[in-house]
Amino acid sequence: MDAREKRKLFIGMLGLIWLLVVLLAYATTHKSFSLSQIIVISKSLWQTVIVFGLISFAGGLGAKIISANEKESPLVWIAIQNALGFGILGLIILGMGASVGFSILNFGLLLVGGIILFRKEILLWWKQWTSLSLLWKRSSSLERKFAFGVLFILILRFLTALAPPLVFDSLVYHLTLPKHYLLAGGVAYTDDLIYWGMPQLIEMLYTFVMALAGVEAATLLGWGFGFLTLVGLLGYIERHFSSLAAWVAVVALLTGGSLTASLSSGYVEWALMLYGLSSFVLLKLWLSSKEAKFLYLLASFAGFLVGIKYTAAIFPVAIVFVFVFLNSGRGTKEIAKDIAVFGGLALLTFSPWMLKNFFATGNPVYPLLFPGGAMGEARIALHQEHPAWGNWQDLFLLPWRATVWGVKGKIGYSEDIGPLLLALSSFVGIGWKKREKAQKDIISIALIISLVFFSFWAISGRLSLLLLQSRLYFIFFPIWALLAGAGFERFYRLKASGIRFGRVSVVLLFLAFAFNVFTTATEFARYDVSDKLLGLSNSSVYRQKALGEYEIVMNYLEELPSDSHVLMLWETRSYACYPLCEPDEVIDRWYIDLKRYGSPDDVLEFWKESGYSHLLFRKEGADFVRNDPFERTEIDWAALDTLLADLPLLKDFNGQYQLYELRP
């Protein structure tokens, strides 16, 4: 090195040192971050790293078993490989919980070991993501406008997922069960939550990330399921139809308020949609190629599906319908053999959940159908005899009624699915004769699956109010969205008498989508999510803004003596105080106990003998049931009033909750 180079090196190093000194000196008097803010932001970054690590691990594991090929878009293989990896990991975690147990060490070793073991496959899985930038380059300016709206929603929901969970069912069981498992050190049975018997493939994954990074990591993983679903849907439709159809399909899904909100709720619906989309693609690959590996994968995915939610069993039934009606060129015996292989492997994949229930309660489908565990004959009868809602028109007009009358939180369909799925899928028959055979085949499969789901949905809704809820059928919504995208693509090209219907329809699409974009932004601002993520408010303040008096009650319960055990009446959400509290998870505790023991005094004596120290009565919830015209349970409200009048009141929470003492 000559003298000139040495001089330049000296000046450069001296300049860097000087810059660092000035910055540090400035920082001592101008503190941009407080310590609490650094902790909050660091926690969010750690949670993001853990979730990204698990998604990469699952993707690499899936890629080890099924590699990408030219038959489908790399974006589709990303979704399929992740779904396969998640399914296998869910069963591995279940096995851990039943054997070696749960601990941070065990989960950490599994994650780090998996990433190291499948590092080559993970790198290949990462490379497939470059196809997303290629899709962007192929998208028109119109399609990119849709993409910006999609990206805006995804970012806000990503940030919301990093804040403490607020949504009802996640606080009842989706996140409470993983908390129970982590406290118990394994998949231990509890009769506090009858939802323990539901299939829990996704809750196993939630347990994994909660152990390593906290509860927000679980809701962030839920967002990841949604992102993977949308990416896979984009890739599949763009490959077989067009980029316009792909972006419109995604917009059709995200115009639904409930579907959008589910991205950050900690629910399992987007995971179901990921498996539904992946199963659809595998079904088409099997029908086209008859390669045995696709049938085996399809069967495994069917088992994974039912391992997430019992009502997902409709999807394997729909697949069988496709086998029968579209498996041309194969005789009856061959079709029967395909169905037998499919059904047998699906049942085998699902069987660990039935075995878990059988060994704990004696009922493989606990808490349904048969008595067992915490479900006696009286509770079984109560929960399987819900009145229907609506009328006979649901049998013929269900898509219309679910779209128009489906309002988030309201009785009936209970969810906002948006207007575009129904409106745009109705156009799928336009220009049918001009479509390529491959497109016709895809649409035909999608139509059969959709019709099977609508039929089950309509009939089930006439049997029970609970079975009418739209969220139980979200699994086939990506397929419905495919029909919407394909339908709009044809309608967009329609011209007559100088009218370009596409231009007018685009304006209407943007208007419908903009409503939900605005709603998402409004909700984000209403709950001050940014304040929580930046450390400007704490978790309790954030939850109280959204949950009101409930959060105040939970904070108060934390101050009770350590040996307390609180029984809840008409309050189902126990995540915040579990295991101190025992929830009234399906609001039947008073009815069942009074029916079993006969009088308020005997019920009270049973509660005391069972070790309960306090009774938390949610008056608001009780009044709702008392005034519900659809409530057919003959609850003895007078006996309840008598019981409460004789108990010492410890604390009244603005008339919404009352906390009573049960100990002498």
- How confident is the model at residue 202, as a pLDDT? 97
Domain boundaries in the chain? 3-32, 43-526, 548-661
Alpha-carbon radius of gyration of the chain = 27
pTM equals 0.93
Report pLDDT for 625.
Answer: 83
- How many CB atoms are located within 10 Å of the residue 610 CB? 11
pLDDT (0 to 100) of residue 328: 63
Give the pLDDT confidence score for residue 631 in this predicted structure: 60
C-alpha distance from residue 591 to each of 370, 379, 380, 599, 622 (Å):
20, 9, 13, 11, 12
pLDDT average per 10 residues of sequence, the chain (664 residues)? 79 90 84 80 95 98 92 95 98 96 96 96 96 94 95 97 93 95 94 91 98 97 98 97 97 96 96 98 93 95 96 95 82 89 96 95 90 82 71 84 88 91 95 91 96 93 85 96 96 78 88 95 92 88 92 94 93 92 89 88 92 93 78 78 91 94 81
Nearest to 505 by CA among 426, 429, 394: 426
Q: What tokens appear for 217 in the block? A: 């990591």
pLDDT of residue 329: 67
Q: What does the alpha-carbon distance between residue 136 and residue 114 come to, in Å, rounded to a whole number?
A: 32
Tell which residue, 557, 579, 583, 574, has the closest CA to residue 658: 557
Token pair 């994974």 in the structure block, residue: 304
How are strands ordered across the β-sheet holding 566-569?
581-582, 566-569, 614-618, 657-661, 649-653
Residue 143 is predicted with a pLDDT of 95
Letter string b/e over residues 276-301, b meaning 16 or more CB atoms within 10 A of that residue's CB: bbbbbbbbbbbbeeeeeebbbbbbbb
